[in-house]
Structure 1
Amino acid sequence: MSLVLTVNGRQHTVDASPETPLLYVLRNDLQLNGAKFGCGLGQCGACTVQVDGKAAYSCLLPVAAAQGRAIRTVEGLGAPEAPSPLQKAFMDEQAAQCGYCIGGMIMRAQALLDANPRPSEAHIRAHMQPNLCRCGTHMRILRAIRRAAGLPVEAASA
């Protein structure tokens, strides 16, 4: 079945079964590999993208439910030669160790900063809680988000 998706501001027509997870269409049909398959259950966040400005697990979202909605992937934020402020902050803080979770972390963090450019420490932590980093770089990830938000890089209280 032909479906029309708007991804990173561009329309794409894809042939996919309506119940196919958005993640598979992004990776296999559109060659956007920033979102990763982690658990397939919406429990790790490696597949996080933005749908209508909100963080969403692309492994759980049927592609048919994504039609007519604005989908944004980490590739839509910036490029290696011109990273977004959040991507630059992740680089400055060396927030990626293995890098597997980082696309999802950045997309969840970007959704937060788009909704609230200067969130509190508690708000950052609560918003980022669903995404997991198996390498344990959570503290560097939190510093990167604070840096991008123009907040003191070191948290006032942990």
Structure 2
Amino acid sequence: MRARELNTVVNGSAVVRRVENRTTLAELLREELGLTGTKVSCELQVCGVCTVLVDGTPVSSCTYLAADVDGKQVQTVEGLAGPDGLHPLQTAFVENFALQCGFCTPGFLLMAKALLDTNPNPTEEEVVHHLEGNICRCTGYRSIVDAVLSVAAGEGGE
């Protein structure tokens, strides 16, 4: 197998690894770096469970090659919380009961963060549209949309 050296930043920390060309970003995060908050489900870019941010853009880490993050910044759900506690989106998900089993939650949180980073005051329709690629089999979507809207309105997550 061909391999290459990878230099990236994951959740603010420099990472240098030798990776096989076929290694997915999800495999790198989970197996090499121990960041198991990134889940894998469909492995087809359909469910949104494996979503992480690469240079602020949401990507499906189950099909995104690790080699493609060379020289880029990666953020996973583990990188959301700061030294002062949970990210406002994480708090809003708890306050709005926007999680049940939690398997899909990391992907929803990172998709919501990407939306709010580019559009801090989205409409309900914009939130629904932005999150439509993420699937939840337990909670339903109303509480997730409410959580994102509460952060946008400055009402939740504080």
TM over 0.5: yes
Aligned partners of 1:21 and 1:62 also within 8 Å: yes
- Say if 2:99 and 2:139, in contact at 8 Å, map to a contact too: no
Q: 1:9 to 1:79 in 2, by over 3 A?
A: closer
* RMSD, aligned α-carbons: 1.7
Alignment partner of 1:21 is 2:31? no
Identical-pair percentage: 39
Aligned counterpart, 1:51: 54
Distance change (3 Å), C-alpha of 1:152 and 1:87: closer
CA gap of 1:3–1:152, structure 2 versus 1, over 3 A, is closer
What letter matches 1:77 in structure 2? L
Aligned residue number for residue 103 of structure 2: 100
Q: Tell me if structure 2 keeps the 8 A contact 1:95–1:140.
A: yes
Q: Unaligned 5+ residue runs, structure 1?
A: 154-158
C-alpha displacement of 1:149 = 0.8
Give the match's secondary structure for 1:16. Answer: strand
State the alpha-carbon separation in 2 of the partners of residues 82 and 152 from structure 1.
Answer: 17
Question: Which segments of structure 1 move beyond 6 Å, counting only runs of 4 or more?
Answer: none
1:128 maps onto 2:131 in alignment = yes
Q: 1:34-59 CA distances to partner (integer Å, 9 max, x unpaired)?
A: 11001000100100001111111001
* Paired letter, 2:22: E
> What is the Cα deviation at residue 32 of structure 1?
0.8
The 1:73–1:82 alpha-carbon spacing in structure 2 relative to 1, beyond 3 Å, is same
Q: Which residue of 2 aligns with 1:144?
A: 147
TM-score with structure 2 setting the length: 0.91
Q: Secondary structure of the equivalent of 2:22?
A: coil
Structure 2 unmatched ranges of 5 or more: none
TM-score (norm 1): 0.91
Count of aligned positions: 153
Shift of 1:79: 5.8
CA change 1:43–1:80 in 2 (3 A) is farther
Contact preservation (8 Å) 1:118, 1:151: no
